[in-house]
Amino acid sequence: MKEKIQAFGRFFSGMVLPNIGAFIAWGFITMLFIPDGFLPNEGLAALVGPMVKFLLPI
């Protein structure tokens, strides 16, 4: 049982850890540039939608 849980954890860590930078970048872009963000910018806020659809599911 322990080996199966460890294998499951390794599988998910192999998927999440390589993409951690993308999650952090998306969070910063969202925090800063959406209309309610600290530095609202319509051009950069337009990146948030495509990132949710295409980048984060990878």
pLDDT at site 28 = 92
Q: Cβ-count burial of 29 within 10 angstroms (0-12 exposed, 13-18 middle, 19+ buried)?
A: middle
pLDDT at site 17 = 86
Q: Does pTM surpass 0.75?
A: no
Name residue, tokens 């800063």: 32
Question: In the chain, where are the structural domains located?
Answer: 20-58
Type of residue at 42? E
**Those residues with Cβ within 8 angstroms of residue 51's Cβ, 6 or more apart along the chain or in another chain:** 22, 26, 29
Q: What percent of the chain has pLDDT over 90?
A: 48
Q: Nearest 5°: CA angle at 50, between 49 and 53? A: 90
Q: Each residue's pLDDT tens digit in the chain (58 positions)?
A: 999 999 999 998 888 888 888 889 889 999 999 999 999 999 989 988 888 888 777 6
